[in-house]
Chain A
Amino acid sequence: MASGVDALETMPVSHDARAVRWALRLWFGALMIFLYLPIAFMVVFSFDEGATPGLPITGFTLHWYDVLLDNRSLLRAVGNSITVATAVAILATVIGTMAAFVLVRGGIRWPNATRIAFTLPIMVPGVLIGVSLLIYFARAADLPLSLGTVIAGQLVFTVPFVVLIVASRLQSFDRQVEWAAADLGASPRQAIRHIVLPLISPAILAGALISVTLSIDEFVITWFTIGAQPTLPTYIYTRIKFGVTPEVNAVATIMLVATLLIFTIASVVLGRARRRPDRRPAEADA
């Protein structure tokens, strides 16, 4: 980080301040090692010949990736995860975006309370949502647990994400653009479709991508609402509990790459949204 020169850094500083800065630099490095060490191990072990992942590394192999491709039940779990994530992303994005419009543009009696109510499913630990849904589906509504109940369970926290992200974008939206469209003869519907939606699309896309990422990774709520068909995380969890399975590291590595891809797309999209001139400066930082 040597190139990060700040105005303060060129000021005369005491010997102590220099030591502090070095200590902080080391601390930053230590945190990076702490954060990436487990991930590095996971990736390295996925290419390790040994059947029990551990040091020392015995040799390079692609065997575990090969094992994966032959594992029918794992591939089925991947398929289930993709089904769930697709359904969750589409439903959450549509439902959340619609609600965000009402929330920001009036019609809701207590907009602030409603907004806080939408943060609750995000903040309340998944285990509580999971077990209460289990009671609801299995004991009260008498619904058989299936991928459908998993989708419903995941919507509980993905819809609020979309609502909050889109609402925060709509809040800073310059309505004069829309009124100008109305003035030029556009119906409210046309103005929303041709003016508002394209302008807030980065936020909608970000909401969709966050929904996909969270859905694919979601374990806790899924664990309580799942029927006989596992998703990838619940399948992996059962395998891990069952015993040491080196191919799990290969799955993990593939998932890591997939998540990084989605994540990169999301940051590019959000970054573009952030550079839009009509955002308020305070939010441009968020």
Chain B
Amino acid sequence: MSTEIVGGAAVAPPASPRSGRAARLRQLAPFLPAGFILIGLFFVPLALMFVFSFWSTDVNLDVLPVWTLENYVNFFENPGYVRTLLKTMLMGAGVTLACLVGAFAVAYFLARYVSRRWARFALLLIIVPFWTSYLLRVYSWQAILGEHGALNQVLMALGVISEPSFLFVYNDVGTFIVLVYVYVPFAALVLYSSLERFDFTQVTAAQDLGANSLRAFRHVLLPQIRPGIITACIFVFIPILGEFLTPSMVGGASGLLIANLVANFFKNALIPEGAAIGFMIAVIVLILLIAFRRYLRVEDVYARG
């Protein structure tokens, strides 16, 4: 084996003695368990959900392998279901917008006006809640928004209201507030990493050349951080399509979202009905993920901290 030596280190890879089918299989072997999990426990079950969504149940709730479009037709013929689907989209859009605006201001502040050291620390503070129990964070909102919650107590003490109000909980408002709470750290994290790379002297230059702050923002800053904005949108909007815990805890009967329908159908063993809705959500999610695949920087969001 001849190897060129430069500065004492071998720069050429050692020649691989193996070739052929058997060698290729040996090379692939370490990948197989992960491949099995990805295919066998993710893609196959999703495909199965698709198949089940075209089957029906008998009176004993046993699934019958009889092909039918009934589950989809029933969904679209029920105005309540369709409204829930549309509301979920609207809620997703609203929460995404609120998270973007709220997080952008913070990320901008940290990237532009705060030293990198402090910005890192502040970011850590923003991420910590996100790593604590999701279930318990949502639960603790009941202590704030609930009937005997802090918000009602404060408003009553101030004399704004005379008895506990349900304005903020067990409806869409409660779901909205808590969803913003859950997802704003994602948005802040993603937006900060793109603002961190932005050279703010460009804005100053634009202003020197006569652009007002708004124009400098729109034509200089915004185009450059667009990938970050898109990533943030995906990381907030998509999980909301599958949110059922937050609505079930603070949404009450009127604040339920589409995934609650899925969960309820499954809890009542109406599997094909649930599978049909589940599959529709999956299609929306997969289309979004594949369309925006370039913006899925999962490692950046999770491995940072």
Contacts and interface: CB of A to CB of B under 8 A. Distances in A.
Contact of A24 (B109, B126, B149, B197): B109
Contacts of B234: 123
Contact of A27 (B106, B154, B263): B106
A236 B10 contact: no
B115 A219 contact: no
Contacts, number: 311
Interface stretch (A59-67, A70-78, A135-143, A193-201): A135-143
Contacts of A155: 37, 41
A82 interface: no
A285 B197 contact: yes
Interface residues of B, number: 107
Contacts of A110: none
Given A4-B118, A116-B296, A125 B241 contact: yes
A53 B105 CA distance: 34
Contact of A179 (B14, B31, B259): B14
Interface residues of A, number: 107
B41 A156 contact: yes
Contact of A99 (B31, B153, B188, B200): B31
Interface of A: 1, 3-6, 8-9, 11, 16, 21, 24-25, 27-28, 31-32, 34-39, 41-42, 45, 52-56, 95-96, 98-99, 101-103, 106-108, 116-129, 131-136, 139-140, 152-153, 155-156, 159-161, 163-165, 168, 175-177, 179-180, 182-183, 188, 203, 206, 210, 213, 217, 219-220, 224, 233, 236-237, 240, 248-249, 251-252, 255-256, 259-260, 263, 266-267, 270, 285-286
A177 B129 CA distance: 39
Which residue of A4, A117, A128, A217 has the most chain B CB atoms within 10 A of its CB atom?
A128
Interface in B240-266: 241-245, 249, 259, 262-263, 266
A95 B282 contact: no
Interface in B127-144: 128-129, 131-137, 139-141, 143-144
Contacts of B302: 122, 161, 165, 210
A217 B108 CA distance: 31
A96 B34 contact: yes
Contacts of A132: 45-46, 48-49, 278
Contacts of A37: 144
B222 interface: no
In the A-B complex, the 7 residue pairs with the smallest Cβ-Cβ separation, listed nearest first, are: A125-B242, A99-B34, A98-B30, A132-B45, A4-B114, A24-B109, A183-B10
Contacts of A188: 14
B276 to A, nearest CB: 11
Contacts of B45: 129, 132-133, 135-136
A38 B141 contact: yes
A125 B285 contact: yes
B286 A124 contact: yes
Contacts of A210: 302-303
A6 B112 contact: yes
Interface of B: 3, 9-14, 24, 27-28, 30-31, 33-35, 37-38, 41-42, 44-46, 48-49, 52, 63, 102, 105-106, 108-110, 112-115, 117-119, 122, 124-126, 128-129, 131-137, 139-141, 143-144, 146, 148-150, 153-154, 181, 184-185, 188, 193, 196-197, 200-201, 204, 213, 234, 238-239, 241-245, 249, 259, 262-263, 266, 271, 274-275, 278, 281-282, 285-286, 289-290, 293, 296-300, 302-305
Given A28-B109, A53-B143, A132-B48, 16 more contacts: A24-B108, A25-B109, A27-B106, A31-B102, A31-B126, A98-B30, A125-B259, A135-B48, A135-B275, A153-B41, A160-B38, A219-B135, A256-B133, A263-B128, A263-B131, A285-B196
B136 A267 contact: no
Nearest to B290: A116
6 contacts: A102-B27, A103-B31, A119-B298, A123-B298, A125-B285, A237-B135
A195 B48 CA distance: 43
Nearest to B12: A179
B278 A123 contact: no
Nearest to B150: A55
Contact of A107 (B24, B132, B134, B181): B24
A138 to B, nearest CB: 9
B204 A8 contact: yes
A101 B24 CA distance: 14
A42 B136 contact: yes
